[in-house]
Amino acid sequence: MTPMMFGPASRQLFGLYHPPQREGRLAVLICSPFGQEAVRSHRLFRVLADRLAMSGTAVLRFDYFGTGDSPGDDTDGEFEGWRRDVNTAHEELRRRVGERNILWIGARLGATLAVLAAKSGRCDPSKLVLWDPVVDGPRYLQALRAGHVEALEHSYCIPDPDWRRQLARNPDAFTDDLFGFGVAPVLRQQLRSLDAQTLQLTALHDTVVLADPEDQPAQAWGRAQAARQMPVTVSPFRHPLIWTSDPHPNNAMVPPEALQCLIAQVHE
């Protein structure tokens, strides 16, 4: 595994490159989730990258600008910049792997960004694997707000009952800081404007949507894209990873079901 900085001087990104340990023809770019969802899934994607590299697949993991170990502040985060970051990471991986086919794996908001980046036409992913993509921004933002309040209640011996009242009455409450990550007004508005109509797949690559059967927005979005004659497969996928919860007996840090499913999608 090789840590590195890459991208233009004005917008450097931190990445971890996992070189293939044997001959192969594939490379994978991992588009991570946002905020605490990225923290909770970090170990899973580290293990996935190591496993893929052992099988001959090159892998690049990276942090969007203003996240993780990349420069910038939390409040620098917004869709357009992060979309460009995905393209920049793809170009860096292409520089390192030559003619290998590059597949993108995006999870949660990372899957959404992968769709937006692929639409730009700057890059040539051979396949998108979209795991629990966020296609209903207001629903996603509300879930993060509710989870933030629940986390506050668990952290204090005497929770403040006003937190719940603010959550119910003020749609802007608990949107500046979500699970310890700052959110700029522009990102908050982008999330509120995000819906299935703003996300359109292209026919330039195959796409697999791995979505929980109970995630009706993601399931419906995938079916709508298939109805547009896009080369997309929607696969219901249950797993024990709870995106915003600490690991406990019913929430695995590296669920083998997810690991095996993602590896199978790469080698399919």
User: Is residue 183 within 8 Å of residue 175, measured between CB atoms?
Assistant: yes
What residue spans of 75-197 are helical by DSSP H?
79-97, 109-119, 137-155, 162-169, 185-193
Mean pLDDT of 217-241: 90
* pLDDT of 171 above 70: yes
Q: How many CB atoms lie within 10 A of CB 143?
A: 14
Q: Which of 253, 207, 261 is nearest to 237 (CA)?
A: 261
Q: Which of 202, 254, 217 is nearest to 133 (CA)?
A: 217
Question: Quick one: what percent of the chain has pLDDT higher than 90?
Answer: 64
pLDDT value, residue 247: 56
Q: Residue 237, SS3?
A: coil
| Domains present along the chain, CATH in parentheses | 2-135+203-267 (3.40.50.1820), 137-193 (no CATH)
pLDDT value, residue 258: 86
147 or 192, which is more confident? 192
pLDDT-based confidence at residue 189 (cuts at 50, 70, 90): very high
* pLDDT of 250 above 70: no
- The CA-atom distances, in angstroms, between 52 and each of 19, 22, 73, 119 are 9, 10, 31, 26
pLDDT value, residue 249: 52
Tell me if the pTM is above 0.75.
yes
Give 53's contacts (C-beta < 8 A, 6+ positions apart).
18, 19, 20, 21, 59
pLDDT value, residue 61: 98
DSSP letters spanning 32-75:
--STHHHHHHHHHHHHHHHHHHHTT-EEEEEE-TTSTTSSS-GG
Mean pLDDT of 219-238: 92
pLDDT value, residue 252: 61
* pLDDT of 245 above 80: no
User: Is residue 57 within 8 Å of residue 23, measured between CB atoms?
Assistant: no
Q: What is the pLDDT of residues 45-91, one digit of tens each?
A: 999 999 999 999 999 999 999 999 999 999 899 999 999 999 999 99
Q: Which of 214, 239, 211 is nearest to 225 (CA)?
A: 211
Q: What is the pLDDT of residues 99-148, one digit of tens each?
A: 999 999 999 999 999 999 998 777 889 999 999 999 999 999 999 998 88
pLDDT-based confidence at residue 248 (cuts at 50, 70, 90): low
Residue 198 DSSP one-character state: G
